[in-house]
Homo-oligomer: A and B are copies of this chain.
């Protein structure tokens, strides 16, 4: 049997995620994000397509760099308003049997003891179908509203997150023995107290005596997602993550990233195959090439310059409003120029015909609006499947299907592309494993594998 790929829906509990301006598209349903029916519909489509999970991004504040305020983000509903992603999961879990739910949660604004309970609860409620996308939060607007004067310095955020994970591993993996809950009516013992342990964590950032307040959930630790890009971030991912997702535009960049992250994983004593690489991409599929291209043109038509640059500016700290749409990147002679080149001048996305340095701001915005520089793959189901096979061949283990049109992107993919992938033998025709981790590893592996650093941390505690 060929290698089997993973497939997630990549979306967010808001109107505009990485599709600036597309709320104007007449088919876009994202304005219904406040409605549980909307989410359950999406979950049912995804489960019909045997997809692995719905992956929910999140931010805790607004993008307020563009023009020095959040007006463009607000006007264009660019990740604003944004609702809590955790709170929609139980409805989707109730309506489905197999689909997983990967959700973003920051380590910066909540004590680990509370976060531990949230994910234990979700893992119980979903019967082991939950993943956590670990972020340290990058928006200054969020920091300022959440009790900090500004963002914590980048490296400190990661040092703190590292200890944070240590606390969580102790709570999730060690605090309750597997057979602690016995519900023995005769003996009058629901839980055996000798099998519930304090963790007595005293670190630089956290003091957590424990025990955890939750009994062991099916996966104990949720599947760990991460997307570190900086050197610190990549080390963090290589140490902790079981799946990393990328947003690189080209195959070369992903290939470099895979090599790098797997080498870093080896440095942490891990089996590099236990980190799954999940690039994001935007499939635009049609029954014919013409239909697909027409969809693409419509998306382009509704994309918003301001929305795209408000988002990209917020994510990079560059106020793009100072430039004219006709401004060519290479002609900008400021520090921001260097910043932009650092971010975008990786090489050109698949469909572009000239080097990114020669792009105008208009071209940057158009690309940012349609999937934030991730590959946009337009064509027939077979063409999309070819692309997937090509990227799989360089070591990608799965893909995040990024929504441009809610929920049309996913529906089209499930109806047209999934059958082709199944026919080619690279994607499941039935769900096989009960929990999300086993599905990711493609073997019975409900708990963290033996080579994961959590095992060493917990062992040190127990001894």
Interface, chain A (partner B; CB < 8 A): 13, 15-16, 21, 23-24, 31, 34-37, 40, 60-62, 69-71, 74-77, 80-84, 86-91, 93-95, 109-111, 113-114, 117-118, 120-122, 124-125, 144-147, 181, 183, 185, 188-193, 196, 206-211, 213-215, 217, 304
**10 contacts across the A-B interface (CB closer than 8 A):** A23-B190, A74-B191, A75-B192, A82-B214, A83-B120, A86-B86, A87-B118, A91-B94, A145-B210, A147-B207
Contacts of A23 in B (CB 8 A): 183, 190
Instruction: Tell me whether B114 and A60 are in contact (CB under 8 A).
Output: yes
Which listed residue, B13, B118, B147, touches A84 by the CB 8 Å rule?
A: B118
User: Of all chain B residues, which has the CB nearest A205?
Assistant: B147
CA distance A412 to B152 in the complex (A): 54
| A62 and chain B: residue at smallest CB distance | B213
Given contacts A81-B214, A81-B215, A213-B61, is CB(A87)–CB(B193) below 8 Å?
no
In the complex, how many angstroms separate the beta carbon of A214 from the nearest chain B beta carbon? 5
Residue of B nearest to A76 (CB): B190
CB distance from A325 to the nearest CB of B (A): 15
CB distance from A31 to the nearest CB of B (A): 6
Give the nearest-CB partner of A124 in chain B: B34
Partner of A82, one of B40, B95, B213: B213
Q: Which residues of B contact A81 (CB under 8 A)?
A: 181, 191, 213-215
Do B196 and A60 have beta carbons less than 8 Å apart? Answer: no
Q: Give which listed residue, B91, B109, B121, B207, contacts A83 with CB less than 8 A.
A: B121
Whether A24 lies near B91 (C-beta < 8 A) is: no
Contacts of A13 in B (CB 8 A): 121
A315 to chain B, nearest CB (A): 16
CA distance A62 to B196 in the complex (A): 12
**A109: which B residues are within 8 A, CB to CB?**
111, 114
Inter-chain contact A214/B83, CB cutoff 8 Å: yes
- With A87-B86, A87-B122 given, is the CB distance from A70 to B193 under 8 Å? yes
Whether A208 contacts B145 by the Cβ 8 Å rule is yes
Q: Which residue of B lies closest to A122 (CB)?
A: B87
Contacts of A15 in B (CB 8 A): 190
Partner of A74, one of B16, B87, B118, B193: B193
Q: Given the complex, which residues of B lie within 8 Å of A188, measured CB to CB?
A: 21, 24, 75-76, 304
Contact B125 A213 (CB under 8 A): no
Chain B residues in 8 Å Cβ range of A181: 81
A80 touches B213 (CB 8 A): yes
**Closest beta carbon of chain B to A108's beta carbon, Å:** 11
Output the nearest chain B residue to A77 by Cβ-Cβ distance: B190
Residue of B24, B80, B87, B144 touching A125 (CB-CB under 8 A): B87
A217 to B35 Cα, complex, angstroms = 11
On chain B, the residues within 8 Å of A192 by CB distance are 74-75
Contacts A86-B87, A89-B87 given; does A62 touch B117 at CB 8 Å:
no
Q: How far is the CB of A103 from chain B (nearest CB, A)?
A: 11
Chain B hits for A144, CB < 8 A: 207, 209
Q: CA separation between A86 and B85, bound complex, in Å?
A: 12
Contact of A121 among B87, B122, B146 (CB under 8 A): B87
| Shortest distance from the beta carbon of A34 to any chain B beta carbon, whole Å | 4
Contact B191 A77 (CB under 8 A): yes
* CB-based nearest B residue for A191: B74
Closest approach, in angstroms, between the C-beta of A110 and any C-beta of chain B?
7
Once the chains are docked, how many angstroms separate the CA of A109 from the CA of B145? Answer: 15
Rounded to whole angstroms, the CA-CA distance of A300 and B86 in the bound complex is 39
Known A34-B215, A60-B213, A90-B91; further 19 A-B contacts with Cβ < 8 A: A16-B190, A24-B185, A24-B188, A40-B94, A60-B113, A60-B114, A61-B213, A69-B193, A75-B190, A77-B191, A81-B181, A81-B214, A83-B120, A87-B90, A88-B90, A88-B121, A91-B125, A145-B209, A147-B206
